[in-house]
């Protein structure tokens, strides 16, 4: 067994044993420190001034401690702050850093605000454009003292006196104004439910508009297109009116130049217009009579599958009666159609109402 750990093997075994012992000691004494060394990422940020920040201050994201400040150094007139952050915290490419007051006693902390779609590289410090430093109370008091010492107290007193006089002169009007504001507040308080319903309805309206924003956008775009088309049409109408005015002036000049030649033509045209107007009046007067005739004719035709029509004064009835008498055996005279003369006359032309005498075999009507 002793031969196994002699020479180079003994040195190697001793080195391994010492390393394991040191590692076990470190793990037992400071496990959190070893874990932070293994998991934390080191970042840097450039601030206009340190503002009382020192190594060991906390690094916070959304109110939760995620790391500590390692060191604060001077870099070309600015403060270069080095800090570590847990590896599980994602910092975007536009992350900002701010030095703020963390406790009542004035302890400083570094607040990180993750932003950006990419990832903040540990090798790239956060620039001054994305960092901010707090006010130092002593500096603020010093600035206040310097500004206050430069005030003109006489002018300030005069301004305060003017303000007091103005308030005194406004007192009679200020009282009713405040009373009116009080009544307005009371009215609004009494209508709290109505205002709540109004705000709820406004919220619903905003929701509907949000759901239909695409239609609203399309409507607005279509309205813009419509306005463009209307503007083009307006320009076209303006050009048409200008051209019409020019044509009117040219026609006026033409008529003035040819007035002697156009006068007889216009006179004849007026005569023709008068004749047409007279015929139009006659037609207008004839239309009511035509309507009555059409109504009467419609009633006559619609009474059955036949109708009777008589056109007066086409052929005198006296000329046709002899032809009907001899052609159809119609005869006229005293006792015509009585027995033994059964043939005739059946009727006269034009046929009178109930003018067909009954036959002996038909009996009385």
C-alpha 221/C-alpha 231 separation (Å) is: 15
User: 3-state SS of 299-362?
Assistant: HHHCCCCCCCCCCCCCCCHHHHHHHHHHHCCCCCCCCCCCCCCCCCCCCCCCCCCCCCCCCHHH
DSSP string, 167-219: HHHTHHHHHHHHHHHHHHHHHHHHTHHHHHHHHHHHHHHHHHHHHTHHHHHHH
Q: What pLDDT shows up at residue 116?
A: 86
Residue that is written with structure tokens 């059409």 in the block: 294
The domain 40-136 is placed in CATH, from the list 2.160.20, 1.10.1330, 3.30.1450, 2.40.30, at 2.40.30
Look at residues 40, 28, 30 and name the one whose alpha carbon lies nearest to residue 65: 40
Q: What pLDDT shows up at residue 322?
A: 65
pLDDT by 10s per residue, the chain, length 365: 455 555 566 677 777 877 877 777 766 655 656 556 666 888 999 998 888 888 889 999 988 888 889 999 988 888 999 998 988 888 888 999 999 888 877 788 899 999 988 888 888 899 999 998 887 666 667 777 777 777 777 787 888 888 877 777 777 777 778 788 888 888 877 878 888 888 888 888 888 878 888 887 887 788 778 888 888 888 888 888 888 888 888 888 887 777 777 777 778 888 888 888 888 888 888 777 777 777 776 766 666 665 666 666 666 666 666 666 656 655 555 555 445 555 444 455 555 545 455 555 555 55
Q: At what angle do helices 259-301 and 213-257 cross, to 10 degrees?
A: 120
Q: Residues 13-35, buried b or exposed e (16+ Cβ, 10 A)?
A: eeeeeeeeeeeeeeeeeeeeeee
Q: What pLDDT shows up at residue 355?
A: 47
C-alpha 329/C-alpha 337 separation (Å) is: 11
Q: What pLDDT shows up at residue 325?
A: 63
Q: What pLDDT shows up at residue 304?
A: 60
pTM confidence score: 0.36
Domain positions in the chain:
40-136, 194-238, 316-365
Q: What pLDDT shows up at residue 155?
A: 81
Percent of all residues in the chain with a pLDDT value above 70, rounded to a whole number: 73
Q: What pLDDT shows up at residue 4?
A: 55
């Amino acid at each position: 067994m002793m031969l196994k750990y002699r020479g180079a093997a003994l040195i190697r075994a001793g080195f391994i044993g010492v390393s394991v012992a040191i590692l076990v000691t470190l793990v037992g004494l400071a496990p959190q420190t070893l874990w932070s060394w293994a998991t934390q990422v080191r970042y840097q940020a450039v601030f206009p001034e340190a503002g009382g920040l020192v190594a060991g201050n906390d690094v916070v994201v959304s109110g939760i401690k995620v790391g500590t400040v390692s060191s604060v150094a001077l870099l070309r007139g600015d403060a270069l702050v080095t800090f570590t952050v847990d590896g599980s915290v994602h910092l975007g490419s536009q992350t900002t850093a701010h030095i703020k007051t963390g406790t009542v006693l004035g302890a400083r902390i570094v607040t990180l605000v993750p932003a950006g779609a990419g990832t903040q590289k540990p090798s790239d410090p956060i620039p001054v454009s994305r960092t901010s430093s707090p006010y130092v109370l002593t500096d603020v008091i010093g600035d206040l003292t310097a500004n206050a010492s430069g005030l003109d107290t006489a002018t300030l007193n005069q301004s305060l006196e003017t303000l007091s006089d103005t308030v005194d002169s406004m007192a009679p009007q200020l009282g009713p104004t405040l009373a009116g504001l009080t009544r307005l507040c009371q009215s609004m308080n009494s209508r709290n439910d109505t205002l709540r319903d109004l705000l709820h309805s406004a919220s619903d309206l905003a929701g509907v508009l949000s759901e239909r924003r695409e239609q609203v956008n399309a409507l607005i775009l279509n309205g813009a297109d419509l306005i463009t088309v209307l503007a083009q049409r307006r320009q076209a109408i303006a050009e048409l009116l200008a051209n019409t005015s020019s044509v009117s002036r040219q026609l006026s000049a033409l008529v003035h130049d040819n007035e002697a030649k156009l006068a007889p033509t216009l006179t004849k045209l007026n005569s023709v217009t008068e004749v047409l107007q007279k015929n139009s009046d006659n037609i207008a007067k004839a239309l009511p009579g035509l309507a009555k005739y059409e109504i009467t004719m419609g009633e006559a035709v619609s009474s059955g599958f036949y109708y009777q029509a008589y056109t007066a004064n086409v052929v005198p009835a006296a000329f046709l009666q002899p032809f009907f008498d001899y052609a159809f055996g119609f005869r006229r005279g005293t006792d015509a159609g009585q027995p033994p003369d059964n043939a005739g006359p059946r009727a006269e032309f034009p046929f009178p109402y109930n003018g067909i005498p009954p036959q002996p075999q038909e009996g009385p009507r």
